[in-house]
Chains A and B, each alone.
Chain A
């Protein structure tokens, strides 16, 4: 019997989302965790099986424009699927406690069980998008995944969360419309050529006219740049994370935004390599601006989670930078950076959330000397911060070095500026640590009268963050396996794109 393993990976959380709904309280959370764990197990099984079997699934679905229900599981998508499953489990384990509601007006208006369902739903849809090997299918997952994220933002969070949620929706819909336009363009072009299929493998060989290719490239690029986001399209993200539940923010910044980077490699680069070559200098400049701007803004930001979101903007700039240096080494590095980013920034936002929840600190300067009360949180914050730097020994460093070397081959001066831009991270991580944890603990600095007592991270919170950290450390100390796996993403479009450029572009 042929088991559709890839379908199962995202169907498990999809049905799980429905199954957990009637369960209450602790059982609900446990069920959510089990389902998320099961998803992870399915992904790992698929990973094992994919070594010996071809797991790709392909069923013709919409004959009119040759849309297929096609899933693939190569090094690039598999790594991100597994990382997403890990992050979702983390979010499910501690997410609900991190609610930032401070008073009755901002208390959640929805049953907590729905939270579990929506997180599972997000997980399913994001994983589906990572797995999709067909443009239309990808678009569906990409677009529908907005909905649960939107609801998560809208139901759980601060007083102005509705505004934040609609802002998220506006930008995401804009991104979706751009992508939709791009896909319409692709489909019409393809059908005029006569090969009517939106399968990625088929599209990679399509020759667009230069003008058309550039137009489509811009549409795709803009769509994913909004998702990432790149400066200056980033303002929605910082606004959202200030209001949303930090666990939702972690999922949003980590997994959902990683989708932008992934799509940048797989679609923007994979489908339009010549246009990518044409646009590369401009994109590199935008990416550099993103790295630097994100760094500057993170240093100046006073809101904890918002600072983490600027980190993410800076990281995304670095990822786009790596991708558009258009060297195989740097693209591999960027892909690995995506995985590192997903786990490390996810963990950073979660730690900020834990801190916010356990001490009532949302802004730097609210309180100081928290290490005296919460030593474990302090240690975790610092370690996670160091993982985002990235300090050597963590996965991010292996990725950064690849990007640096790959970029150095072609654009040494740009590479230098990119890596100088990453130095801001050192400043804002150590400075945040200083402003939060050092000094003597003073209660009178809190702006609110109702001062919650500070507690340290709970055992569950500690274990969740520790697992993320250990993963980053383990793969950082021995990244070769992951590197080979990502590099093996064939017939992944990365390799195809590079070949295309090598043959046609230069």
Chain B
């Protein structure tokens, strides 16, 4: 069925790696089973978790075996399509980068699946949820294991589809349906970039394989590399919710919280970063495109923080924070090979931290039935366990020494400083902003007076009424298990990766990374930590003393322009509505009007005129089918017999 081009000898590994398509096929099969076949709950849960779990187990075994064997492996399954002279194959690439991402996807996928057993225990359509979860894992693994851009694109679109289906999981809600459509359309439009890049690659160099693209594109000339670079950046921007294409991700918080944790924070949204990282050789050929990546990264870093600092819904704030953190990822990816290593670092640690935070929020919203910050507060007494889990994620995010965020961001700041000092300085400021909005979120949610039993004010109600309108749900064992694992990883993951990751990724990026030590306190780090300390303490004091406008979720805060713009999510939606949707709707309405009024009426009018002019035609208009048939048959007969006659005479 397939031919393996394996570059190594050891038998069992060859067998396992050669069959790595199972990683994708198994959850896919499980997804089909879950979506099509009714089954009892016990089956549902074991199959639903098992599908993802098997993939994870497989990935872990592959990873362990790879530890001793650094050669990347390409598994060629079959030729998908010959386009011109180019041949596009369905083939998978297992290298140091893809296996890490596969571990992240399947690992968090498994934890989220386990969590969902408890979380969705009272959801009538949980079978559909687990089916989609498995489908997502299959699609995402296809995306990261693909060895060429076309196959990556297939996975890319498939994860977009699952994201669409999960955002609209509670379809009865208008907001969810709107959000789902918006996410899908926005991403499809931006994916045009990826599609165009593929077309350029196929026409210019006739290959779309990651490994072959870079050198051949270099031979063709720099301008094409730039075109491809910008085109890929467009697709990556939408997928990773980079400013100004971030608004879909915020609306995507309509999905069930476990899906937000997996898709809209940890894995799928990082795919944009993954695309840039995979295309790093192209960006090395195109400095302008690389600069654009950097700029987008910084812009998003600040834009996301701005929105997060003024957000009024806990899930949306976390989504803004995801946007901001992915800004760091982009920034790092734009810095070159060394930055790319730390971009992967950021991608992995952020994925784990944010998944944990979201799962904590999931427990919280199910318990209190709402997610608007106006209606939370004082939850530390009600949900002590969730508070601890959330606090772990909080500390790791803001970058407390020795925790995950500290290493990832510290390295990125230092690398940025060495490359372009201005970006380094901006990244430091970003840490301060991150500390501010995360502290604000923590304080508003867990401390102060308990407001969650008060009536919601105005439209600022829970975003997740689909599930939360039901009975309050107490955390179950499965939910606590996932939360615990993710919290521990958030605390310790950075330490584990710090010394090891640069060496591991050496074959992929060929980066000369100097700083891998456990402690590397240089002056830049002191500045960052100092800023962190000042901001956190300042925020806490500020909150205690004056209850400033920053914390008011009420509309009075809107009087400050900075808050108003942030809370309006930088007006990205309005710009989109006025700049794109409205004009296109107008054209569409005009076209429809032309169709119905001009063409349709015109035809009717013409018909009437013809009818008046001829008695024969009036007969025709009577709608007597038999008349037409007779006319037609007679006409055809005359025509055919004339031809025959002419032919034979």
The proximity string for A residues 289-303 relative to B, scoring 1 for CB distances below 8 Å and 0 otherwise, is 000010011011100
Q: Is B198 an interface residue (CB 8 A)?
A: yes
Q: Is A181 an interface residue (CB 8 A)?
A: no
In-complex Cβ contact of A63 among B80, B180, B629, B647 (8 A): B647
Residue contact B192 to A402, C-beta cutoff 8 Å: no
Cβ contact within 8 Å between B620 and A166: yes
Complex interface: chain B residues within 8 A of A434 (CB): 177-178, 180-181
Cβ of B282 within 8 Å of any chain A Cβ, yes or no, is no
Known: A401-B150, A415-B199. A64 touches B591 (CB 8 A): no
**Overall SS of chain B's interface:** helix
- State whether the Cβ of B171 lies closer than 8 Å to any Cβ in chain A: yes
Interfacial chain B residues near A166, Cβ < 8 Å: 620-621, 623, 628
Q: Does A398 contact B (CB under 8 A)?
A: yes
Please indicate the chain A residues that have their CB under 8 angstroms from the CB of B67 in the complex.
Answer: none
Q: Is A440 in contact with chain B by the CB < 8 A criterion?
A: yes
Within 8 A of A (CB), among B184-235: 184-185, 188-189, 192, 195-196, 198-200, 202-203
1/0 per residue A115-129: CB within 8 Å of B? 000000000000000
Known contacts A408-B203, A426-B184, A430-B164; A480 and B189 CB within 8 A of each other: no
Secondary structure at the A interface, as helix, strand, loop or mixed, is helix
Interface: B158 (CB within 8 A): yes
Q: Min CB distance, A477 to chain B, in Å?
A: 8
Would you call B43 an interface residue if the criterion is a C-beta within 8 Å of the partner chain's C-beta atoms? no
Residues of B within 8 A of A67 (CB): 647
Residue from A239, A402, A483 within 8 A of B600 (CB atoms): A239
- Given A62-B647, A235-B599, A438-B171, answer yes or no on A426-B161 (Cβ-Cβ < 8 Å): no
Query: Is A201 an interface residue, CB under 8 A from the partner?
Result: no
Q: A163-B623, A439-B174 are in contact. Are A297 and B595 (CB under 8 A)?
A: yes
User: Contact between B636 and A144 (Cβ–Cβ < 8 Å)?
Assistant: yes
Q: Is there contact, CB below 8 Å, between A404 and B195?
A: yes
CB-nearest residue of chain B relative to A147? B632
B82 touching A154 by the CB < 8 A rule? Answer: no
A402 x B164 contact (CB < 8 A): no
Query: Which of chain B's residues 78-106 have a Cβ closer than 8 Å to chain A?
Result: 78-84, 86
A residues 342-384 touching B (CB-CB < 8 Å): 369, 371-372
Q: Which of B82, B174, B178, B189 has the largest count of A CB atoms less than 10 A from its CB?
A: B82
B187 to chain A, nearest CB (A): 9
| Chain B residue at minimal CB-CB distance from A483 | B81
What CA separation (Å) do A287 and B198 show in the bound complex? 23
A296 adjacent to B587 (CB under 8 Å) = yes
B559 neighbours in A (Cβ, 8 Å): none
**CB neighbours of B589 from chain A (8 A):** 300
Chain B contacts for A409, CB-based, 8 A: 84, 203
Indicate if the CB atoms of B591 and A406 lie closer than 8 Å: no
**Beta-carbon contact of A405 and B640 below 8 Å:** no
Q: Which of A150, A239, A426, A437 is in CB contact (< 8 Å) with B171?
A: A437
Q: Is the CB of A431 within 8 A of B181?
A: yes
| Residue A151 lies at the interface, judged by CB distance under 8 Å to chain B | yes
* CB of B643 closer than 8 Å to a CB of A: yes
Which of A44-52, A204-212, A219-227, A385-393 lies on the face that meets chain B?
Answer: A385-393
Q: Which residue of B lies closest to A431 (CB)?
A: B181
In the assembled complex, the CB of B251 is this many whole angstroms from the nearest CB of chain A, namely 14
Residues B628 and A405 in contact, CB atoms below 8 Å apart: no
Q: Is B9 an interface residue (CB 8 A)?
A: no
- Closest A residue to B206 using CB positions: A405
Contact B196 A419 (CB under 8 A): yes
Check B588 against A296 for contact (C-beta < 8 Å).
Answer: yes
Residues of A within 8 A of B153 (CB): 392
B81 touches A402 (CB 8 A): yes
Residues of A within 8 A of B647 (CB): 62-65, 67
**A274 to B157 Cα, complex, angstroms:** 40
Determine the distance from Cα of A235 to Cα of B600 in the docked complex, in whole angstroms: 7
In the complex, residue of chain A having the shortest beta-carbon distance to the beta carbon of B181 = A430
* Nearest opposing residue in chain A for B176, CB measure: A438
List chain B residues, Cβ under 8 A from A312. none
Q: Which residues of A from 413 to 429 have beta carbons under 8 Å from B?
A: 415-416, 419-420, 423, 426-427
B562 at the binding interface (Cβ < 8 Å) = no
In the bound complex, do residue A419 and residue B195 qualify as a contact, i.e. CB atoms below 8 Å apart?
Answer: yes
Which residue on chain A has the smallest CB distance to residue B165? A382
0/1 per residue, A142-170, Cβ < 8 Å to B? 01101100110011000000110111010
Chain A residues with Cβ below 8 Å from B107 are none
A297-B585 Cα distance, complex, nearest whole Å: 10
Q: How far is the CA of A437 from the CA of B174 in the complex (A)?
A: 11
Q: Considering only CB atoms, which chain B residue lies closest to A294 in the complex?
A: B591
Question: Within the assembled complex, what's the spacing in Å between the Cα atoms of A297 and B161?
Answer: 25
User: How far is A235 from B603 in the complex, measured between Cα atoms in Å?
Assistant: 9
The docked-state distance in angstroms from the alpha carbon of A146 to that of B632 is: 10
Interface: A140 (CB within 8 A): yes
Pick the residue among A109, A296, A405, A427 that contacts B203 (CB under 8 A).
Answer: A405
Q: B60 contacts the other chain (Cβ, under 8 Å)?
A: no
Q: Are A64 and B161 in contact (CB under 8 A)?
A: no
Q: Which among A165, A293, A392, A439 is the interface contact of B154 at CB below 8 angstroms? A: A392
Q: Is B522 an interface residue, CB under 8 A from the partner? A: no
Q: Are B185 and A430 in contact (CB under 8 A)?
A: yes
- B154 nearest in chain A by CB position: A392
Contact in complex: B633, A147 (CB < 8 Å): yes
Instruction: Compute how far the CA of A235 lies from the CA of B78 in the bound complex, rounded to whole angstroms.
Output: 44
Residues in B with CB closer than 8 Å to A169 are 628, 632
Give the complex CA separation of A158 and B172 in angstroms. 32
A404 to B202 Cα, complex, angstroms: 10
**A212 to B573 CA separation, bound complex (whole angstroms):** 56
A401 touches B81 (CB 8 A): yes
CB of A406 within 8 A of CB of B636, answer no
On whether the beta carbons of B172 and A167 are closer than 8 Å, the reply is no
What residues on B are CB-neighbors of A297 within 8 Å?
Answer: 588, 591-592, 595
A28 within 8 A of B: no
- Considering the complex, give the chain A residue whose CB is closest to the CB of B581: A427
Residues 455-506 of A at the B interface (beta carbon under 8 Å): 477-480, 483-484
* Bound Cα distance A389, B195 (Å): 14
A329, B171: Cβ atoms closer than 8 Å: no
Q: Which residue of chain B has its CB nearest to the CB of A372?
A: B172
Provide the bound-state CA to CA distance between A293 and B592, in Å.
Answer: 10
B402 to A: closest C-beta gap in Å? 43
The answer to whether B628 touches A165 (Cβ under 8 A) is: yes
Evaluate whether A480 and B588 lie within 8 angstroms (CB atoms) in the complex, with A393-B154, A426-B184, A440-B172 already known. no
B628 touches A150 (CB 8 A): yes
Give the Cβ gap from B610 to chain A, nearest Cβ, in Å: 10
Cα A455 to Cα B95 in complex, Å, equals 51
CB distance from A38 to the nearest CB of B (A): 28
Docked complex Cα distance between A423 and B81 (Å): 23
The residue of chain B having its C-beta at the shortest distance from the C-beta of A407 within the complex is: B199
* Interface assignment of B521: CB less than 8 Å from any CB of chain A: no
How many Å lie between the Cα of A321 and that of B196 in the bound state? 17
Contact of A147 among B188, B600, B607, B636 (CB under 8 A): B636
Q: List 27 A-B contacts (CB under 8 A).
A: A146-B632, A147-B632, A147-B633, A166-B623, A169-B628, A235-B603, A239-B600, A239-B603, A296-B584, A296-B587, A300-B592, A301-B592, A329-B83, A389-B188, A391-B157, A401-B199, A404-B199, A405-B86, A406-B84, A416-B196, A423-B189, A426-B184, A430-B180, A430-B181, A434-B181, A437-B171, A438-B177
Top 8 closest pairs, chain A to chain B, by CB: A162-B623, A300-B592, A64-B647, A438-B177, A62-B647, A300-B588, A296-B591, A392-B154
Chain A residues proximal to chain B, CB less than 8 Å: 62-65, 67, 109, 136, 140, 143-144, 146-147, 150-151, 154-155, 162-163, 165-167, 169, 180, 235, 238-239, 293, 296-297, 299-301, 328-329, 369, 371-372, 386, 389, 391-393, 398, 401-402, 404-406, 408-409, 412, 415-416, 419-420, 423, 426-427, 430-431, 433-434, 437-440, 477-480, 483-484
